[in-house]
Amino acid sequence: MDSGFSSPRRDAFPAGLRVLVVDDDPTWIRILEKMLKKCSYEVTTCGLAREALNLLRERKDGYDIVISDVNMPDMDGFKLLEHVGLEMDLPVIMMSVDGETSRVMKGVQHGACDYLLKPIRMKELRNIWQHVFRKRIHEAREFEGHEGFEGIHLMRNGSDQSEDGMLFSLEDMPSMKKRKDLDNNHDDKEFGDPSSTKKARVVWSVDLHQKFVKAVNQIGFDKVGPKRILDLMNVPWLTRENVASHLQKYRLYLSRLLKENDQRSSSSGTKPSDLPPRDTAGDFGFQNLTNKQQNDVAVDSFNYSDVPLQSHSSETKIRNGDLKAIVSDSIAEKRRALSGSIPGTKVSPQISLNHSSFGPLKPEGRHAVFDCTIPSTQFTWSETPEMPLKKEHKSFLQLEDSSFSHSPLHVTQRKIQGLKSHSVASVCSNPTITESEVAASVETKPMYADYKREYASSVSSIGSVVDTIPTQSKSLMENAQLSEPSSAKNLAMKTQGFNYDLEFYPENLLDEDLHFYWLQGEYYNMNWGFENIGMPEYYDPGLVAELSSHLHDSADCTLVDQGLFIA
């Protein structure tokens, strides 16, 4: 990856840090460029968020950090923030002349590693390298396998020029790691992406992810566990931790999609009546929510999640309600799952949501679907594919229904690329993800940062559609609610043609499992922009918290979420 458009400087870090500045104000662009150059950074500027995303996607490993203004004309800065975080997993710093606490909080919730107030001082810019460094260290550590440690080790020892031992080129690590990886390259392993090696992570290639999803579906979403998945996948070099981490992200991703879906529908104001009777189980939407809420014993522990929800009351009320419900539901679901006492009845309403939309899905009755919320959301999607799913669709699709395995979710996300025209099609139409379908550059690389980068390219094809996409991917889950029979399929992709492959996550993903995993202490850092939310504290409620955080400003979550689960 050093062969990127700008090869990483080998000088003393942080000199040569490759910064991408995004701001629509020409005066600020000029000033920031000058200031950053004075810090010996390599600066690239752009005035539009989309332009920035394109740049980032073109050169997967061409930048170290992104600084963006919150108010951009073509795309909300927070959304951009999420995309970057998910697709490229780069640290993003937000800027604004507005320093209201709520805004800053929003930035943090969306994953900004810092929020600077304009006018910005030189000293503030001088220190931005710490975010890059911190991330690298964090990632290296996160990678539990030996690679991680080795990465750090290599990093420390491999620097060309370390005066005091602290200065080293971060690129050394990836390149060294790359060498190592090449040695160990297996068929399934795809370390081809330089960016992935840089991160010292498992790259969840399309193949790999498909294997994963297949395994999950085989086992059954409600029974899935990393060990079982690992066994089924039969990938020698993969570790249980890798799988667990991936599973967690997958779940979150789905749940977020569900949520977004809900929010979207709520905000878009689609009427539940529009939805065709997909809810075989009956009223999914709010009714389910109410049920769930009642059943949620765990609600208390998720106060945190509630809070953020409240704070975004600006969103539709429904949304808040949904969130709560969703959160509660999810929690309840989890609890139930864990205790193994998931009342079929309770769950079923939820499940139906998912079922209906996903044609092939067999209602299993166990959908840890969080968002049984707004049926209309789904409807919206199916009805108005073009409709930008800007609204937050952070629905949590935690579908436990194994039937989802056949759901469009599995649709290859690859299709995303061709989806520029908002043709969701691929998602739903193909129950199984076929690699061949991966037309888009979207390499269904789930969750991992590297993966995201690939995804980013596919995402880019979607352009503004991105917003809608997130829902799409999750939409599969959420779309279950879509009125259309083939809804699930159409939902996801339609809106944005972004075939994220939400399909990854068949309903089988149980948040229970996630929950369980969390309990196991496998809280993996999900780079969904949650990082800054202090998720770790919410071990159990963590999931909820994350979900809730995503609920905020869901509008932006979309792409990013989907990107994660693109297979």
Partner 1 sequence: MDVGQMQRQLVEYTKSLFIEGYLDSQFLQLQQLQDESNPSFVAEVVSLFFEDSERILKDLTFALEQKIIDFKKVDAHVHQFKGSSSSIGAQRVKNACIAFRGYCEEQNVNSCTRCLQQVKQEYFIVKNKLETLFRLEHQIIGAGGSIPMVELSF
Single residue of 25, 51, 241, 435 touching partner 1 by CB under 8 A = 25
CB neighbours of residue 339 within 10 Å? 10
Q: Residue 122 or 307: which CB sits closer to partner 1?
A: 122
Q: Cα dihedral sign for 486, 489, 492, 497?
A: negative
Single residue of 26, 269, 277, 344 touching partner 1 by CB under 8 A = 26
Q: Give the position of tokens 């429904």.
A: 318
Single residue of 5, 58, 99, 119 touching partner 1 by CB under 8 A = 119
Q: Residue 3 or 27: which CB sits closer to partner 1?
A: 27
Q: Select the span of 5-13, 19-27, 428-436, 467-475 touching partner 1 (CB under 8 A).
A: 19-27
Q: Counting contacts by CB under 8 A, is residue 15 touching partner 1?
A: no
Cβ atoms 405, 432 nearer than 8 A: no
Q: Residue 81 or 202: which CB sits closer to partner 1?
A: 81
Q: Residue 99 or 536: which CB sits closer to partner 1?
A: 99
Cβ atoms 376, 457 nearer than 8 A: no
> Is residue 99 packed enough to be buried (19+ CB in 10 Å), middle (13-18) or exposed (0-12)?
exposed
Cβ atoms 370, 334 nearer than 8 A: no
Rg of the chain on CA atoms, in Å: 21
Q: Residue 127 or 345: which CB sits closer to partner 1?
A: 127
Q: Counting contacts by CB under 8 A, is residue 35 touching partner 1?
A: yes
Q: Residue 80 or 526: which CB sits closer to partner 1?
A: 80
Q: Residue 38 or 134: which CB sits closer to partner 1?
A: 38
Q: Residue 76 or 181: which CB sits closer to partner 1?
A: 76
Residues 187-206 that bind partner 1 (CB under 8 A): none
- The torsion angle over the Cα atoms of residues 207, 208, 213 and 216, rounded to 10 degrees, is 140
Please state at what angle helix 468-478 crosses helix 487-496, rounded to 10 degrees. 180
- We find the least distance from the C-beta atom of residue 465 to partner 1, in angstroms, to be 23
Q: Select the span of 31-39, 185-193, 478-486, 515-523 touching partner 1 (CB under 8 A).
A: 31-39
Q: For residues 434 and 414, give the distance between their C-alpha atoms in angstroms, rounded to a whole number.
A: 8
204's tokens: 């969840």
The secondary element (H helix, E strand) that includes residue 394 is: strand 394-394
Q: Counting contacts by CB under 8 A, is residue 121 touching partner 1?
A: yes
Angle 70-376-102 from CA coordinates, rounded to 5°: 25
Checking DSSP bridges between strand 42-46 and strand 65-69, what pairing results, if any?
unpaired
Q: Counting contacts by CB under 8 A, is residue 186 touching partner 1?
A: no
Q: Residue 70 or 238: which CB sits closer to partner 1?
A: 70
Q: For residues 333 and 255, give the distance between their C-alpha atoms in angstroms, rounded to a whole number.
A: 12
- We find the least distance from the C-beta atom of residue 76 to partner 1, in angstroms, to be 12
Q: Select the span of 32-40, 158-166, 360-368, 553-561 touching partner 1 (CB under 8 A).
A: 32-40
The secondary element (H helix, E strand) that includes residue 46 is: strand 42-46
Q: Select the span of 1-9, 113-121, 445-453, 505-513 touching partner 1 (CB under 8 A).
A: 113-121
Please state at what angle helix 240-268 crosses helix 511-519, rounded to 10 degrees. 130
Say how many residues touch partner 1, by CB under 8 A: 19
- We find the least distance from the C-beta atom of residue 32 to partner 1, in angstroms, to be 9
Cβ atoms 396, 511 nearer than 8 A: yes
The secondary element (H helix, E strand) that includes residue 94 is: strand 92-96
Q: Select the span of 83-91, 115-123, 352-360, 520-528 touching partner 1 (CB under 8 A).
A: 115-123
Q: Residue 26 or 344: which CB sits closer to partner 1?
A: 26
- We find the least distance from the C-beta atom of residue 121 to partner 1, in angstroms, to be 7
- We find the least distance from the C-beta atom of residue 31 to partner 1, in angstroms, to be 6
φ and ψ of 441, to 5 deg:
-70, -5
- We find the least distance from the C-beta atom of residue 422 to partner 1, in angstroms, to be 26
- We find the least distance from the C-beta atom of residue 122 to partner 1, in angstroms, to be 7
Q: Counting contacts by CB under 8 A, is residue 127 touching partner 1?
A: no
Q: Counting contacts by CB under 8 A, is residue 313 touching partner 1?
A: no
Single residue of 4, 6, 15, 31 touching partner 1 by CB under 8 A = 31
Q: For residues 327 and 35, give the distance between their C-alpha atoms in angstroms, rounded to a whole number.
A: 44
Q: Counting contacts by CB under 8 A, is residue 71 touching partner 1?
A: yes
- Give which of 240, 219, 170, 256 is closest to 521, Cα–Cα: 240
Q: For residues 535 and 56, give the distance between their C-alpha atoms in angstroms, rounded to a whole number.
A: 27
**Mask of contacts with partner 1, 90-109, x by CB under 8 A?**
------xxx-----------
Q: Give the position of tokens 């290296």.
A: 140
- Give which of 386, 441, 453 is closest to 412, Cα–Cα: 441
- We find the least distance from the C-beta atom of residue 112 to partner 1, in angstroms, to be 17
Q: Quick one: DSSP state of residue 85?
A: I
Q: Residue 125 or 347: which CB sits closer to partner 1?
A: 125
Q: Counting contacts by CB under 8 A, is residue 38 touching partner 1?
A: yes
DSSP 102-132: HHHHHHHHTT-SEEEESSPPHHHHHTTHHHH
Q: Residue 29 or 409: which CB sits closer to partner 1?
A: 29
Q: Residue 71 or 525: which CB sits closer to partner 1?
A: 71
CB neighbours of residue 31 within 10 Å? 16
- We find the least distance from the C-beta atom of residue 57 to partner 1, in angstroms, to be 27
Binding-site ranges for partner 1 (CB under 8 A)? 24-28, 30-31, 34-35, 38, 69, 71, 96-98, 118-119, 121-122
